[in-house]
Amino acid sequence: MQAAPARPPVIIRALQYDPVTIALHWITAVLVSLLWVIGKTIDYAPNGALRVDYRSLHMLLGVTLLGVFITHIIWRLHRGRSLPAAGNALMELAARVVHWALYLLVGTTLVLGLANVWVRGDVVFNLFTVPAFDPANKALQHLIGDWHALAADAILILAGVHAAAALFHHFILRDGVLRGMLPMV
């Protein structure tokens, strides 16, 4: 009886994203995760100084993400290096669509977050107050807040798809795609 044909050799991609792209990717992932958790738990904080500080931390991290996001986009458009296509043309198209959809969702969520603070008004670490755009317009406040939360949820869902694809490349295709985005050790 003949042995089953040997599995084709694993192709390990020698290229890796540049260190700035890797750092911006993982900083973005951590900030998005923290912001989502804080956003989902703010209402559980007791009223008073703790809630003000917790909401202020959410806003501070959001502004930090805005800076990282702008830097990431500029770097990607001008200096960042993409790895060669992995898999077939359909996989390449799916990867591009997911990446640009993530950028669009993060940008949209950040803009809605800024609008949310402006429409609602807020106290920041008890140091200063952002005045409300239209304090009596509760419907607008709820609408912007709901859109902000919906966009944040959509980021998490799409980021989960992105992570699942990276794990598929790593464990099933064994093509080194995930390794290209891991920080060098």
Question: In which element (H, E) is residue 163 found?
Answer: helix 138-168
Q: Which domain holds residue 68?
A: 19-181
What pTM does this model have?
0.88
Is residue 41 included in any domain, yes or no?
yes
Kindly report, residue by residue over 39-50, the tens digit of the pLDDT: 999 999 999 999
Question: What is the percentage of the chain residues whose pLDDT exceeds 90?
Answer: 77
**CATH code of the domain in which 120 resides:** 1.20.950.20
Residue 25 lies in a domain: yes
Indicate if the pLDDT at residue 65 is higher than 80: yes
Q: How confident is the model at residue 32 (pLDDT cuts 50, 70, 90)?
A: very high
Q: Determine the pLDDT at residue 9.
A: 45
Distance, in Å, from the CA atom of 10 to the CA atom of 142, rounded to the nearest integer, reads 52
User: Please, which pLDDT band fits residue 177 given cuts at 50, 70 and 90?
Assistant: confident
Q: Is residue 96 part of a domain?
A: yes
Query: How far apart, in Å, are the Cα atoms of 97 and each of 92, 101, 102, 148?
Result: 9, 6, 8, 22
Cα R_g (the chain), whole angstroms = 21
Q: Is residue 12 part of a domain?
A: no
Count of structural domains, the chain: 1
Length of the chain: 185
**pLDDT band at residue 16 using 50, 70 and 90 as cut-offs:** confident
Q: Is residue 70 part of a domain?
A: yes
Residue 13 lies in a domain: no
pLDDT tens-digit readout, 120-171: 999 999 999 999 999 999 999 999 999 999 999 999 999 999 999 999 999 9
Q: How far apart are CA 166 and CA 171, in angstroms?
A: 9
Distances, alpha carbon 33 to alpha carbons 19, 28, 105, 121, 129, in Å: 21, 8, 14, 24, 26
Q: Is residue 51 in some structural domain?
A: yes
